[in-house]
Every structure is written in structure tokens, then in C-alpha cells.
Structure 1
Amino acid sequence: MDMQGSRTLAVTQQQAWEALNDPEMLKACIPGCEKFEATEPNTYAVTTAIKIGPVAARFSGRVLLSDIVPPQSYKIGFDAQGGVAGFGKGEAAVRLAPQDTGCELSYTVHSTVGGKIAQLGQRLIDGAAKSLAEDFFRRFDEALQNRYPSAAAAATAVVPTAPEPAARKGMPSWAWAAIAVVVAVVIYLTTKG
């Protein structure tokens, strides 16, 4: 599965970077996430529970950050096992770019799944990935607004009646959503290029 997309965030590039590197914030934003803990520098153990169609499972895995260029970009490698339900693995690239009213998070994701999950069919998996990604971004936006209320208020004041960006509608996933999607099946995520 290959996904890409972008998302406009109403915070500075540095604020978005800090949030994307906060395990507690990510744990709270990733749907079904039970654990997101640092095990060594740039490596995290992740456990998440999801249900896709008739298959429900708990996936445990590892997330590894590499090619880190603060506060602009990094790559994410991930792999997760869900017992008989299957596995997910892949990689994602996340990039943050400053904009007039905040920053843009963009992402690309390449992932594979196997086991019972893979037997569900691409349409069902894609639909679940979109749903997980949208849920992640809704939670992430809310968490950013709570953490940085003045940045969110400033962005609203600059563009008081701006329509929702097209990238938010029907967006497949972001890089951290990719983690949610890949670790939980898989993310994009997104996360976030």
C-alpha cells in the first residue's frame, strides 16, 4: 500500500516538530494505541488494538526514526505483529514546512500487510486506513490547539472564514497515522508527506 498526503497545522514548524516527537501526545492521538514508549534513542515500542471488518487484533511492534533533520523531516521505519491476524511493516517520510498561518505536514508511506488482515481485501483495508488517519488528525489537531492555544487563535484570526483545506477531506493517512495504520495494521499517518 502506498499513500501520500499533506495537512495544514495551525502551529509553527517547531511546535509541530515537538508534538510529533512527544510519545505521550502520539499515544493519545493514535486510535487504539495502548503503548508508545521509548526503548532507546529514536526507537519506540508500540502496542495498539484495532478492528477491521471481522478481524480484531492487538498489534505490537517497533518504530524507528532515522534521517532526522530537526525541525524539518525524518523517516519512520515500522513493523508490527498481530498474531494470526497478521503483520504490518513499512516506512514513511515526514516533512514539515513553514507557512504564513502555521506549517504544512506532508508524508509518503509505503507499507505491506500479511495474514488474515491481507485477506480482507484492499478496499476494506484502504477504508480502515482512511478512517484511522482521519481520527488521528482530528485528535492531533485538538491536542495541538490545547497545547498551543495562542498559535491556533492567531491562525484563526488571520483566516477567520477560510474553508477547510482539500487535503483534510478524504485524506488517506499521515506518517504518524501511518504508524497507527501500519502498527495497528497499518499512518500516514499524518500523518505526515
Structure 2
Amino acid sequence: MKMSDSQRIEAPREKVWAALNDAEVLKACIPGCEELTKHSDTEMEAKVTLKVGPVKAKFGGKVTLEDLNPPESYKIVGEGSGGVAGFAKGGAVVRLEDDGPDATILHYDVDAKIGGKIAQLGARLIDSTSKRLAGEFFATFSETVAPSATDEAAGEAPAEGSQDAESGDEKKGWLGGLFGGKKDAETEESA
């Protein structure tokens, strides 16, 4: 199985690199990850439960990082076993590229071999599941590394009585400016 893609992440390259090397961040972002232990800067061990079509299995595996070129690239090499369900082994080359001062393009090229019951399910099912899992990983990873502006704004509410001309009155229009803050917000919510 081969898969290549790239994702834009709204965070500087150094922050993305740090997150890609943080076991807690990776554990939270990898779909089905139950355990992720970092033994050294280049070796990790994981336990992941995945469902591919009708087959659900627990995989245990080891991952090694090679060809480290911080904060630009590395190669991930790993293999995992899911008992009767099968095995997977292979690698991925991950490369980070600046996209302006506050964004990063993460490129990845995966080459993996799969065997056992999972391999018998067929290439289309495996490919679609792999793409779905990659999509879930990157959605969670992006949200973890670069929370959306609305999440950040919710955490930074202005003090009571203060007015924020940019986010307050402009969003409500000229009518909101005339009648003030809270009352219009309540009216908009009930409408």
C-alpha cells in the first residue's frame, strides 16, 4: 500500500515538529491509540485498536525514527502485529515546509505491507480505511497543534462592561452599536 498527501497546519514549523515528537500529542491524535510509550528520542512503542471492515484487532508495534533533520524531516519505520488479524510493516517519510510565518505544510509518503486476515479484505477497503484514519489523525493533530480562532476567542472573553469594537459592534452591525451589547446578543440567540 502506498499513500502520499500533504496537509496545511496553521502553526509554525517548529511547533509542528515538536508536536510530531511529543508522545502525548501523538497518542491523543492517532485513531484507536490506547498506549504510546516513548523509549528514547527515536524509539516508541504503541498499542492501537483498529477496525478494518469486519475485522477488529489490537495491534502492538514498535516505531523507530530515522534520518532526523529537525525541524524539517524524518523517516518513520515500524512494524506491528495484530495476532490472527495480521501484521503491518513499512515506513513513511515526513517533510515539513514553511507556508508563511505562521503555517506549515506537512508532506508524507507512506509505503506499507499488510498481511493476514486484513490483507484478504482487499486493497480498496484497506486504502479507504487508511485514508479515513489519516484524515482523522490530521484533523485531530491540526486542532491540537493550532486550535481554531473561535476556540481561542472563547477562552479570551473580554471583562464585563468592556467593549471590543472589532468583534462586538462590527459583527452586530450599526443597530447593535446603537442598542449595546448583551441585550442584542440575547435577541440574536432567540431569533
Q: TM-score interval w.r.t. the shorter chain?
A: 0.7 to 0.9
- Aligned residue in 1 for 2:15: 15
1:42-81 maps to which residues of 2 (within 5 A)?
A: 42-81=42-81
Contact kept? 2:9, 2:146, Cα under 8 Å = no
- SS of the aligned residue for 2:71 comes to coil
- Aligned residue in 1 for 2:168: none
Shift of 1:145: 2.2
* Inter-partner Cα distance in structure 2 for 1:54 and 1:62: 25
Shift of 1:12: 0.4
- Give the TM-score taking structure 2 as reference length: 0.75
1:1-193 maps to which residues of 2 (within 5 A)?
A: 1-100=1-100, 101-146=102-147
* Inter-partner Cα distance in structure 2 for 1:38 and 1:144: 19
Q: Which amino acid aligns with 2:96?
A: L
- SS of the aligned residue for 2:50 comes to strand
Shift of 1:142: 1.0
* Inter-partner Cα distance in structure 1 for 2:45 and 2:86: 18
Q: Which amino acid aligns with 1:13?
A: R
Shift of 1:14: 0.4
- SS of the aligned residue for 2:31 comes to coil
Q: Which amino acid aligns with 1:48?
A: V
- SS of the aligned residue for 2:39 comes to strand
Superposed CA deviations along residues 31-61 of structure 1, whole A, max 9, x for unmatched, are: 0001111123310001100111110000000
Identity level (%): 46
Shift of 1:141: 1.1
Shift of 1:144: 1.1
* Inter-partner Cα distance in structure 1 for 2:63 and 2:92: 11
Q: Which amino acid aligns with 2:139?
A: R
* Inter-partner Cα distance in structure 1 for 2:125 and 2:3: 15
* Inter-partner Cα distance in structure 1 for 2:86 and 2:78: 14
Q: Which amino acid aligns with 2:103?
A: G
- SS of the aligned residue for 2:11 comes to coil
Q: Which amino acid aligns with 2:74?
A: Y
Superposed CA deviations along residues 55-112 of structure 1, whole A, max 9, x for unmatched, are: 0000000000010001000000010000000000001100001111411100111000
* Inter-partner Cα distance in structure 1 for 2:143 and 2:40: 29
* Inter-partner Cα distance in structure 2 for 1:47 and 1:11: 28
Greater RCO (CA < 8 Å, at least 6 residues apart): 1
Contact kept? 2:5, 2:109, Cα under 8 Å = yes
- Give the TM-score taking structure 1 as reference length: 0.75
CA RMSD of aligned residues (A): 1.8
User: Which of 1 and 2 has greater Rg?
Assistant: 2
* Number of residue pairs matched by the alignment: 151
